[in-house]
Structure 1
Amino acid sequence: MSDEPTLRLPAVPEPPDGHRRAWRIAGLAALLTLVLLLPIGMYLVLRGGGEPPAAPAGSPPSPPAAPTSPPPSSAPAPAPDGRISLTTLANSTLTVPPWPADNLRGPSGRVRFHDGVFAVPPAGTGREPPSCGRLVILSVAYGDVDRDGAGETVAGIGCLIEGGSKQIVAFDRNTAGRIVTMGPVVATTGEIRDIRDGSASVGDDGVVTVRLGDYQVCCDDRTPQAWQTRGYGWHDGRFVQVSGAARMPANRYVTETSVSTGDLVLGPAVAGYRYGTLTVTVRHGWGTLPQRVVVEFHPSAGLERAGTAWPSPGPATGPGFTVTVDPPPAHGAVTRTFTFRRPAAITGGSLDLEVAGSTAAVARLGEATVWNNSVTASIRTVD
């Protein structure tokens, strides 16, 4: 117990009875107000918000509420991975772009490959470019050709029958994982007659570079080829050339000539024979201009030359014969008319023609497009 004296506070005087009644009334009013406001506060708490209660009159205004930040936007989904293995590509259904009109043509659109090959059903013959025997996936390369941050697949596809058409095609995957075709990069058309297998590659800038040739060697052919490298970039939904030469270099061993003709029509019989004429047109497309053009004729039974306007015949070629005619002008055409006769008793038949150019240095120029320098003329009779 402390020895210090106890400090006593002054006594609070008791309020008179009137004041006590006033305090009781004020306390009862405060309690009643609290009871009335408690459910409203509970409702606002459970509701999770709501407008705050109004400030009493004369109170200073409350500071404005801080703006609520919008939720951060979700990041864009990454581009699908378009790297497709050669095994997967070689056993898939692919959309193959159309083949060039001036070369061998095969199926396009949806094609089902098995072990990298699709066997082309036989087609009828005619004066259109012949169909190839099979479609073959030759090679694949990878790179980000469309600059979307993910790789794509660049594949070489051939339409082949002892040579033939080739094209480089870009493939990707969609968001569902399915293989889709972006489009052709380059194909063997015009002065481009060959694409070196496995030469396609994709650079860091997305450009596809390919090794291209002006002539396609087949079988025992030893004609020298000219090669160059060109680059192709993806712009506005298609591939366009962005580097390399626009024309093929000169090749003194290669030309592009073509031959065309109509039917050989034989008229009424005269002294046991029917006579008729055939108009033959030889054109020069590009490459070395021939100094001479040799036309080989392979007639069916009984058909022979008639009249005196024929050039001197060259050496026999089996049942046929050859003649040498003047060449067409550069990028132009020359037309010659030949007369034939046949015993009147023979009907039907055909006449096959083939042209080949030569120069003083090259005995037989290589034909850049091999399917259009020969033609078959049907033989028919009229009375």
Structure 2
Amino acid sequence: MFKSKLPRVEQSIFSVMSSMANKHGAVNLSQGFPNFPVDKQLISLVSNAMKQGNNQYAPMAGDARLREVISHKIEKLYSRKFNPESEITITAGATQAIFTAISAVIREGDEVILFTPAYDCYEPAVQLMGGVAKKIQLKAPEYKPNWDEVKATITSKTKMTIINTPHNPSGVIFSESDMLQLQTIAEDYNLIVLSDEVYEHIIFDDLKHQSAARFSLLSQRTFITASFGKTFHTTGWKMGYCVAPEKLMKEFQKVHQYNVFCVNHPFQKALAIYLENENNYLRLPSFYQNKRDFFLKKIEGSKFKVIPSQGTYFQLLDFSEISKESDIQFAERLTKENKIATIPTSVFNKNKEDFKQIRVCFAKTEETLLKATAILNSI
């Protein structure tokens, strides 16, 4: 009889809540995708790339010009040079990059430290490789890592730790101090790090993204994953990339070439040109902060408790003064009765710990945000 390799994995909460939103005609602030148009210039660049004949396989590692532009971007922003020939790979979104990095280095019995709440693709990938996920719960409302707890969790079997900054769903960013402590721990215990940095360009209040690329020793033992979908609100294109030192990237590409081999060629050609205009990503913090501030201003009179998001396009709402329901029950009731879909955050926590918080996505048009905030204020 066939036996599932992932017996406890169920349908993604994002699919569940979006389906529920469609069924009940609810305003959908659950799944993390923008509902405003993509830049017409980027669409035109893709169309031109197709017309110019870039419709066959791209190079396995990705379009050479795109890798060069990514290398330049990282060096300019984080003062770290990654060789575009040997240390950068274009991927079918960040999720594929994350899966590939885990597949490349995790063996049967290896332990991987995860900080929960964690994006739901991490643990299944570890389990599929025969690894063991060791979860460390970040506590509301600060969601800051306890590095002493990290050290206490490490054993002789610990191979990797996965971080996510800016952090989904909390919106918290790791500080320079956090990254320096991570660097020391990774060096002391010989750990590989997987740094999920898909929201690197969505940072608020003049804070700085502390990429693993900024830190000399850390960058030499880290896979950094990024997402064009999140950056340029083209989530349906499934385009991302991974950067890592050559010794790690060689292992990454061994898996990548037999997984997807290469990814969408005309999109790569278009993104290479689009990225050369630095304003196309440097303007994003102010663009999304305006949306965050608009959303928060409109719910000032609501009963929800809020700590403003530091990054990502997500905001947590604390409903503890509104209801004693579980966050799953509360989110379901909001969708069915109030016609607004959100994400209960306990599904991402260790042992499903419930902090009475729901996550909303504010990467929406002003019209959508006005409808959503009117509903939230009525609850």
Q: What's the TM-score, normalizing by structure 2? A: 0.22
Higher relative contact order, chain-length normalized (CA < 8 Å, sep 6+): 2
Radius of gyration: which is bigger? 1
Higher normalized helix content (fraction of residues): 2
